[in-house]
């Protein structure tokens, strides 16, 4: 079990997904080809689809492939949620003076690869439980460390309701300032909760992120 940190689920969580097809349309009239606009910069449908395909490819190669795919039907929605949140988190962390180096990421990975039984095991567990593609592990670790660092900078104990509120309020202010505009086919971005549409907010939950399977 990963005891010291929860895994940031900015990409996806199987618990928040229901069946839906991979998106193929090309964006809203206001922003052709865009899945979302964050701080004036586009997240394109093509970028979103590339990330979804990476996860689907890894899932299909897994022994549990059928189950993983069927349980992550709205992968596009959850992935876009993570892509937007990542930009908001990056801005909040930068404003707070929080940085994460490559060596920080590698130390984190090394620790938990040992606990889980090696690099391949870590990748497999994250794919199964968080729908993180193997080539996205470093980025996901970095996001988690940024979130942890931001919480520490704010004096926000993530184990407490007050700490969570303080962290959410900080991210919400950043989100509003960045003017998140989501293509209506993907839903509506909630600045107050810093999340897309009806998805849950696992980034502030304390469920175990990666657990070694028997």
**Mean pLDDT, the chain, as a whole number?**
82
**134-145 residue pLDDT tens:** 999 999 999 999
Contacts of 75 (CB under 8 A, 6+ apart): 12, 17, 22, 52, 55, 56, 131
Q: How many residues are there in the chain?
A: 214
Section 89-101 average pLDDT: 98
User: Rounded CA gap, 183 and 28, in Å?
Assistant: 6
**119-172 residue pLDDT tens:** 999 999 999 988 999 999 999 999 999 999 999 999 999 889 999 999 999 999
pTM of the full structure: 0.80
User: Rounded CA gap, 214 and 191, in Å?
Assistant: 39
The confidence score (pLDDT) of residue 201 equals 55
Assess whether pLDDT exceeds 50 at residue 213.
no
Q: With H, G, I as helix, E, B as strand and everything else as coil, classify residue 66.
A: helix
The confidence score (pLDDT) of residue 117 equals 93
Section 62-85 average pLDDT: 92
**17-29 residue pLDDT tens:** 333 333 333 344 5
């Amino acid at each position: 079990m990963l005891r010291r940190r929860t895994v940031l689920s900015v990409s996806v969580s199987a618990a928040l997904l229901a069946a839906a097809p991979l998106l193929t349309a090309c964006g809203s009239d206001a922003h052709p080809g865009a899945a979302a606009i964050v701080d004036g910069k586009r997240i394109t449908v093509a970028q979103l689809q590339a990330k979804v395909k990476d996860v689907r490819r890894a899932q299909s190669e897994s022994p549990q492939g059928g189950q993983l795919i069927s349980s992550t039907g709205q992968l596009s929605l959850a992935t876009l949620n993570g892509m937007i949140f990542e930009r908001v988190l990056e801005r909040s962390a930068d404003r707070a003076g929080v940085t994460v180096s490559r060596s920080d990421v590698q130390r984190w990975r090394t620790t938990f690869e040992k606990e889980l039984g090696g690099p391949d095991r870590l990748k497999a567990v994250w794919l199964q439980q968080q729908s993180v593609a193997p080539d996205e592990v470093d980025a996901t670790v970095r996001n988690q460390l940024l979130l942890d660092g931001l919480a520490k900078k704010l004096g926000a104990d993530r184990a407490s309701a007050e700490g969570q509120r303080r962290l959410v309020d900080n991210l919400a202010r950043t989100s509003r300032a960045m003017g998140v505009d989501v293509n209506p086919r993907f839903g509506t971005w909630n600045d107050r909760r810093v999340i897309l549409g009806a998805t849950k907010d696992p980034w502030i939950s304390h469920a175990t992120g990666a657990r070694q399977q028997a």
